[in-house]
Amino acid sequence: MSLWQAGAEHELEITGLNHAGAGVGRIDGRVVFVPDSLPGERVRIRITETKKRYGTGTLLQVLDAAPERIEPTCPHAQFCGGCQFQHLDYEAQLKWKGLSVQDALERIGGLDLSVKPTVGMARPYEYRNNTQHAVGRQAGHMVMGFFRKGSHDIVDVSTCELQHPLATQLALNLKDLVRVLNIEPYDRKGHTGVLRHAVIRVSFAVEELMLVLVTRTPELPNQAELIERLTDEIPQLVSIAHNVNPRPGSTVMGRETKVIWGKPYLVESIGDLRYAISPASFFQVNSKQTKVLYDLVKAKLPLSGKETVLDLYCGAGTIGLYLAADAGRIIGVETAKSAVLDAEKNAELNRITNAEFRLGRAEDELPRLLQEYKEIDAVILDPPRRGCDPSLLAELIAAEIPRIVYVSCNPATLARDLAILTEGGYSPGTVQPVDMFPWTSHVECGVLMSRV
Ligand SMILES: C[S@@+](CC[C@H](N)C(=O)[O-])C[C@H]1O[C@@H](n2cnc3c(N)ncnc32)[C@H](O)[C@@H]1O
């Protein structure tokens, strides 16, 4: 067997971690990515995939362990793809997140910026308010859980220490009922079957649950009985929605969502504000750290009560409304209709009268807003992982907006976009990473860009 082919076994040193948290080593000059390994470790691996210049491997044995290595507490850690850092001490995770942000800024953006220590959680467990449980059939059995590392096979999880215990309870009860009521699990290979995903959302403020059942087919069989039994068993379940996703592929939710039982939304609190979130709207997954993030935006953007502030990519209006008491006017822009409706509802819920929300793409709405409001004092950017459209950045630069706060969940696109803004005449402040996603390789950042 060639040494550079799937199945070959090797011993090697791990010298770094890539952006996805996998260990990086070398075999004969080629790079190998080894999930679950750590820098400074000597490991034995089996190659699983090879390309010309790089490959991936599975960790077989740690021969020399790094001092930051810990024993995972999760029984599914070895296979479940939900976490990347179950084997890494929490303090070391925070340190790595700061370094990986610094690295992305330098490597991708050519920026040498001051990156503050990552703000972590005092108790980095049971923090997720939203988990997406994949449903499928494997070896003739119905399974429900999270995707296996590097695959779309499902790890049939019994517990997850990242999610609220009520979500774990609901997932277990639902799994039983799906079996008992013979609701056919989705088959990802053949694109047949019915139930694809169960999305569970929790309000930490009031301990209520929302369940979104995603099916391939327009109908959810045995719907009435499922609802009756589940809501009987889990009194905290206050809202059930049905989403139809008829397309093959890995996108979880389809376009159509209908509330089929209970309340149309969950209400979560961040600081003094209450936010209604409907099934298809984005909400930050870590309610506790969201307060840290939004306070950070507030601190980076002191306001006098007079400013016009744009909240672009506003989701359910959450950041803009958080700042509304300090601003003259908030205008949010968002592409998801349900989120815009939630944002309007959230303004009402919090008796905020100086905020309005527009449905549309930020890059399309910005030129109109610049026409309409001659003085825009500050802009908040909180785009999805792909970052901002270049035309939006060009408009902001041309309009010479005095202050921009960029909130990002992807250091790579943050680096790219900050480089464009810097080139366009903005001076970056310090970058503050916030750990919204303990035990994973993901990190959120906030940074103020000031017009020079
Ligand atoms: C990372 S979320 C941020 C939401 C919100 N700021 C928060 O803190 O909850 C990004 C949001 O941008 C929306 N979005 C995606 N592309 C967009 C675009 N081109 N223009 C405006 N909004 C967009 C998504 O629907 C999502 O709600």
Residue 43 belongs to a domain with what CATH number?
2.40.50.140
R_g of the chain, CA atoms, integer Å: 23
Among 216, 236, 269, the domain boundary falls at 269
Q: For atom 25 of ligand 1, which residue has the closest CA?
A: 336
- Report the C-alpha gap between 192 and 5 in whole angstroms: 34
- Report the C-alpha gap between 357 and 79 in whole angstroms: 43
Closest ligand 1 atom, residue 362 Cα: 20
With bands split at pLDDT 50, 70 and 90, how would you rate the model's confidence at 374? confident
Contact 19, 100 (CB under 8 A): yes
Q: Pick from 138, 129, 136: which is nearest to 167 by CA? A: 129
What percentage of the chain reaches a pLDDT higher than 70?
100
**Average pLDDT value for residue range 224-247:** 98
User: 442 lies in a domain?
Assistant: yes
pLDDT tens-place string over residues 24-75: 999 999 999 999 999 999 999 999 999 999 999 999 999 999 999 999 999 9
Closest ligand 1 atom, residue 361 Cα: 20
Give the DSSP H or E segment for 179. helix 165-180
Distance 364 CA to ligand 1 centre (A): 14
Distance 343 CA to ligand 1 centre (A): 12
Out of 201, 252, 281, 282, mutate this one to test ligand 1's pocket (max ligand atoms within 8 Å of CB): namely 282
**Average pLDDT value for residue range 117-122:** 98
Strands (E) across 139-262 are located at: 141-147, 154-156, 195-203, 208-215, 237-244, 256-262
**Residues 45 and 185 placed together within one structural domain of the fold:** no
User: 242 lies in a domain?
Assistant: yes
Residue 339 exposed, middle or buried by CB count within 10 Å (0-12, 13-18, 19+) = buried
Q: Pick from 442, 438, 403: which is nearest to 125 by CA? A: 438
Overall number of domains in the chain: 3
**Residues 164 and 245 placed together within one structural domain of the fold:** yes
**Residues 250 and 326 placed together within one structural domain of the fold:** no
| CA-angle at 16, arms to 415 and 285, nearest 5° | 55
Pocket of ligand 1 (CB under 6 A): 282-284, 313-315, 318-319, 333-336, 339, 361-363, 382-384, 409
Distance 339 CA to ligand 1 centre (A): 9
**Residues 37 and 141 placed together within one structural domain of the fold:** no
Q: What CATH number has the domain bearing residue 141?
A: 2.40.50.1070
pLDDT at 141 over 80: yes
State the residue range of the domain holding 165. 130-269
**Average pLDDT value for residue range 348-367:** 98
**Residues 173 and 306 placed together within one structural domain of the fold:** no
**Residues 306 and 422 placed together within one structural domain of the fold:** yes
Q: For atom 4 of ligand 1, which residue has the closest CA?
A: 315
Backbone angles phi, psi at 316, to 5 degrees: -85, 25
**Residues 51 and 195 placed together within one structural domain of the fold:** no
Residue-level pLDDT at 7:
95
With bands split at pLDDT 50, 70 and 90, how would you rate the model's confidence at 1? confident
Closest ligand 1 atom, residue 294 Cα: 8
User: 222 lies in a domain?
Assistant: yes
With bands split at pLDDT 50, 70 and 90, how would you rate the model's confidence at 144? very high
Residue-level pLDDT at 446:
98
pLDDT tens-place string over residues 273-293: 999 999 999 999 999 999 999
Q: Tokens 């679950």 belong to which residue?
A: 36
Mean pLDDT of the chain: 97
**Average pLDDT value for residue range 322-351:** 98
> And the tokens for 431?
């970058």
- Report the C-alpha gap between 313 and 359 in whole angstroms: 10
Q: Pick from 325, 326, 336, 387: which is nearest to 360 by CA? A: 336
Among 206, 240, 269, the domain boundary falls at 269
- Report the C-alpha gap between 341 and 281 in whole angstroms: 9
**Residues 256 and 294 placed together within one structural domain of the fold:** no
**Residues 257 and 224 placed together within one structural domain of the fold:** yes
User: 236 lies in a domain?
Assistant: yes
**Residues 220 and 155 placed together within one structural domain of the fold:** yes
Q: Give the Cβ contact number of residue 140 at 10 Å.
A: 5
Out of 278, 289, 292, 313, mutate this one to test ligand 1's pocket (max ligand atoms within 8 Å of CB): namely 313
Lowest mean pLDDT among 127-136, 149-158, 201-210, 318-327: 149-158
Residue-level pLDDT at 150:
86
User: 264 lies in a domain?
Assistant: yes
Contact 449, 424 (CB under 8 A): no
With bands split at pLDDT 50, 70 and 90, how would you rate the model's confidence at 393? very high
User: 83 lies in a domain?
Assistant: no
Q: In what order do the strands lie in the sheet with 130-138?
A: 154-156, 141-147, 130-138, 195-203, 208-215, 237-244, 256-262
Give the active site residues. 409
Q: For atom 6 of ligand 1, which residue has the closest CA?
A: 314
**Residues 43 and 157 placed together within one structural domain of the fold:** no
Q: Tokens 């825009």 belong to which residue?
A: 376
Q: What CATH number has the domain bearing residue 423?
A: 3.40.50.150
**Predicted TM-score (pTM) of this structure:** 0.96
Tell me the torsion sign for CA atoms 120, 126, 129, 134.
positive
Closest ligand 1 atom, residue 282 Cα: 27
User: 372 lies in a domain?
Assistant: yes
Distance 146 CA to ligand 1 centre (A): 25
Out of 321, 334, 380, mutate this one to test ligand 1's pocket (max ligand atoms within 8 Å of CB): namely 334
Distance 186 CA to ligand 1 centre (A): 29
Q: What DSSP assignment string belongs to 375-443? A: ---EEEE---TT---HHHHHHHHHHT-SEEEEEES-HHHHHHHHHHHHHTTEEEEEEEEE-SSTTSS--
**Residues 245 and 290 placed together within one structural domain of the fold:** no
Distance 335 CA to ligand 1 centre (A): 7
User: 84 lies in a domain?
Assistant: no
